[in-house]
């Protein structure tokens, strides 16, 4: 029997262990997509207890706790932090086969030096042990980032955001980790949402452009893109239910926009036409600016209406959308490519059944402007577990260029989530090591080092165009 989560965790052979310890383990982390709060980085927040750093806002954990039949008061309700932690510890002991079990114990090992098992029996011990550690200045937000060997972070920011905290971080020479904004214009695109007209008012105020037409909206977005670029932004991100391609004439788009601003609802077809025009416009702007376009799709959100009305979005009530938009995706990318305005693009589907479709779409739009210009993003959200990561990388290797993959992202609101990169790297090295051990790839360690370090770090540096001095 192998020891529980020892140094060779997930590394099943000698080659895997060599790849991990020689090349992957000490390679820095580039967090090119996350949801952490830049204000907490600037203020160097010190957490009072492990519940604050571990359970606040983590809908992964909330979903699992609910599945154990726990009352909502211990999840998002008014129970004390200690009571919430105790319930989580009780649930975690039951999480066999769930990545939360591995992630939680990797975090306990990495940041707290605790190598035991957290469950109902050890909860009190772990609560006291971790809280004592958290009281030390070495466990502040900035020091957690430093401990994680992170060199650069891209947050997720609305076009109307002042980016004041990014400005403050950039002016602070005591913190040497770059924290850059990433452009997330969902509110400007979601014409069907009740808050859309109100959002346009806000966007008008911050951009100085009075928005009465679609052309005005595009002008306001360009003003804000210029501002984001001045703050180092070179990455966009979009949350889509699915990728649509419903082209329409400029006159149709103007009529749809005018209808919505007049306070009327739009039809589903009108919504899709508007969103298509919106995405084509911003895609061309990204290409002009050299930005990377990230498309996250395949999620059906806020399915439990009563819970959504009480708790709001991002509280654990989303699921996989079974619609596979391979034809629409190809048509959308082609509409940009045929005028040579297709930016570097990363495709993430929440539906693992889309892996092969994405893999074939990538090959249709690669060119010499970048290595793996069109990327399949890492296994995302419900798929960032051992099986999901393996399947995504195997599919990418089978149908495309795994060696050019930009690798893992954190996609988290927690400052302890950087151990997910370690989890990913172990799975990557075990996959490659197994291929070598099986005689499916030679034991060419010079090339293997380049591949491993590339996927872990260097490919992202080159792909996004970050400071090359960071390359390892």
* pLDDT digit string, tens, across residues 167-195: 999 999 999 999 999 999 999 999 999 99
Burial 37-55 (b: 16+ CB within 10 A, else e): bbebbbebbebebbbbbbb
The reported pTM is 0.96
Residue 87: what pLDDT? Answer: 98
Q: Which residues contact 412 (CB under 8 A, 6 or more apart)?
A: 34, 35, 36, 58, 420
Residue 468: pLDDT over 80: no
Q: What is the pLDDT of residues 203-248, one digit of tens each?
A: 999 999 999 999 999 999 999 999 999 999 999 999 998 888 999 9
Average pLDDT of the residues of the chain? 96
Residue 141: pLDDT over 60: yes
Q: Which residue has the tokens 């540096």?
A: 461
Q: Which residue has the tokens 């376009």?
A: 293
Using DSSP, state whether 78 is helix, strand or coil.
coil
Strands 299-300 and 319-320: antiparallel
What is the rounded distance in angstroms from the CA atom of residue 330 to the CA atom of residue 245?
9
Residue 299: pLDDT over 80: yes
Kindly state the tokens that stand for 426.
């172990």
Of the listed ranges 218-227, 243-252, 264-273, 315-324, the one predicted with least confidence: 315-324
Q: What is the pLDDT of residues 10-48, one digit of tens each?
A: 999 999 999 999 999 999 999 999 999 999 999 999 999
What is the rounded distance in angstroms from the CA atom of residue 156 to the CA atom of residue 22?
33
Q: Once rounded to an integer, what is the mean pLDDT over residues 340-350?
A: 97
Q: Is the dihedral of CA 15, 21, 23, 29 positive or negative?
A: positive
Residue 23: what pLDDT? Answer: 98
Q: Once rounded to an integer, what is the mean pLDDT over residues 38-61?
A: 95
Q: Once rounded to an integer, what is the mean pLDDT over residues 410-428?
A: 95
Q: Which residues contact 227 (CB under 8 A, 6 or more apart)?
A: 163
Residue 81: pLDDT over 90: yes
What is the rounded distance in angstroms from the CA atom of residue 387 to the CA atom of residue 294?
23
Instruction: Kindly state the percentage of the chain with pLDDT values over 70.
Output: 99
Residue 101: what pLDDT? Answer: 98
Q: How confident is the model at residue 258 (pLDDT cuts 50, 70, 90)?
A: very high
Q: What is the pLDDT of residues 357-372, one digit of tens each?
A: 999 999 999 999 999 9
Whether 284 and 341 have beta carbons less than 8 Å apart is answered as yes
Residue 471: what pLDDT? Answer: 57
Of the listed ranges 101-115, 400-414, 428-442, 455-469, the one predicted with least confidence: 455-469
What is the rounded distance in angstroms from the CA atom of residue 99 to the CA atom of residue 112?
19
Residue 262: what pLDDT? Answer: 96
Whether 348 and 377 have beta carbons less than 8 Å apart is answered as yes
Q: Which residues contact 449 (CB under 8 A, 6 or more apart)?
A: 22, 23
Residue 208: what pLDDT? Answer: 98
Instruction: Please name the helix (run of DSSP H) or strand (run of DSSP E) that holds residue 238, with its range, or none.
Output: strand 235-240
Q: What is the pLDDT of residues 371-382, one digit of tens each?
A: 999 999 999 999
Whether 302 and 318 have beta carbons less than 8 Å apart is answered as yes
Kindly state the tokens that stand for 417.
């989530």
What is the rounded distance in angstroms from the CA atom of residue 62 to the CA atom of residue 60?
6
Considering only CA atoms, which of 469, 419, 471, 429 is closest in space to residue 148?
419
Q: What is the pLDDT of residues 303-314, one digit of tens each?
A: 999 999 999 998
What is the rounded distance in angstroms from the CA atom of residue 163 to the CA atom of residue 391?
37
Q: How confident is the model at residue 472 (pLDDT cuts 50, 70, 90)?
A: low
Quote the Cα angle for 186-191-197, to 5°: 100
Instruction: Kindly state the percentage of the chain with pLDDT values over 90.
Output: 95
Q: Which residues contact 119 (CB under 8 A, 6 or more apart)?
A: 89, 90, 92, 93
Residue 323: pLDDT over 80: no
Radius of gyration of the chain (CA): 23
Q: Is 241 left (phi over 0), alpha (psi -120 to 50) or beta?
A: alpha
Considering only CA atoms, which of 184, 203, 197, 297 is closest in space to residue 244?
297
Q: Once rounded to an integer, what is the mean pLDDT over residues 297-305?
A: 93
Residue 469: pLDDT over 70: no
Whole-angstrom CA distances from 202 to 162, 197, 260 are 12, 9, 16
Residue 5: pLDDT over 90: yes
Residue 467: pLDDT over 90: no
Kindly state the tokens that stand for 390.
């393996």
Residue 243: what pLDDT? Answer: 84
Q: Once rounded to an integer, what is the mean pLDDT over residues 55-64?
A: 92
Q: Which residues contact 1 (CB under 8 A, 6 or more apart)?
A: none
């Amino acid at each position: 029997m192998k020891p529980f989560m020892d140094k060779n965790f997930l590394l099943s052979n000698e080659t895997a262990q060599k790849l991990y310890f020689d090349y992957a383990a000490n390679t820095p982390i580039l967090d090119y997509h996350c949801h952490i709060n830049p204000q907490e980085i600037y203020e160097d927040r010190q957490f009072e207890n492990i519940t604050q750093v571990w359970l606040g806002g983590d809908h992964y954990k909330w979903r699992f706790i609910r599945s154990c039949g726990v009352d909502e008061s211990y999840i998002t309700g008014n129970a004390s932090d200690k009571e919430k932690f105790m319930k989580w510890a009780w649930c975690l002991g039951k999480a066999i086969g769930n990545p939360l079990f591995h992630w939680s114990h990797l975090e306990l090992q990495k940041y707290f030096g605790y190598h035991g098992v957290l469950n109902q029996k050890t909860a009190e011990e772990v609560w006291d042990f971790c809280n004592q550690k958290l009281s030390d200045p070495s466990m502040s937000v900035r020091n957690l980032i430093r401990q994680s060997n992170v060199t650069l972070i891209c947050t997720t920011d609305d076009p109307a955001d002042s980016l004041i905290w990014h400005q403050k971080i950039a002016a602070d020479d005591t913190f040497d980790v770059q924290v850059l904004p990433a452009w997330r214009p969902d509110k400007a695109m979601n014409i069907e949402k009740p808050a859309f007209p109100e959002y346009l008012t806000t966007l008008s105020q911050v951009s100085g452009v009075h928005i009465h037409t679609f052309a005005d909206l595009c002008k306001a977005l360009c003003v804000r893109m210029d501002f984001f670029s001045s703050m180092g932004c070179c990455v966009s991100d979009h949350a889509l239910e699915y990728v649509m391609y419903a082209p329409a004439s400029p006159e149709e788009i103007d009529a749809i926009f005018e209808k919505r601003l007049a306070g009327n609802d739009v039809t589903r077809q009108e919504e899709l036409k508007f969103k298509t025009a919106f995405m084509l416009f911003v895609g061309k702007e990204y290409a002009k600016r050299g930005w990377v376009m990230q498309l996250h799709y395949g999620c059906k959100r806020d399915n439990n209406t009563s819970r959504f009305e009480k708790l709001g979005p991002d509280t654990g009530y989303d699921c996989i959308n079974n619609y596979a938009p391979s034809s629409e995706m190809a048509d959308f990318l082609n509409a940009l490519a045929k005028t040579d305005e297709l930016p570097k693009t990363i495709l993430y589907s929440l539906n693992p059944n889309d892996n092969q479709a994405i893999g074939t779409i990538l090959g249709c739009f690669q060119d010499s402007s970048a290595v793996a210009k069109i990327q399949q993003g890492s296994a995302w959200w419900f798929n960032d577990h051992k099986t999901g990561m393996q399947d995504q990388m195997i599919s990418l290797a089978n149908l495309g260029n795994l060696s050019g993959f930009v690798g893992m992202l954190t996609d988290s609101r927690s400052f302890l989530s950087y151990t997910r990169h370690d989890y990913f790297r172990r799975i990557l090295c075990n996959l490659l090591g197994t291929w070598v051990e099986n005689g499916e790839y030679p034991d060419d360690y010079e090339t293997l080092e380049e591949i491993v370090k590339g996927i872990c770090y260097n490919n992202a540096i080159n792909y996004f165009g970050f400071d090359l001095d960071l390359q390892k």
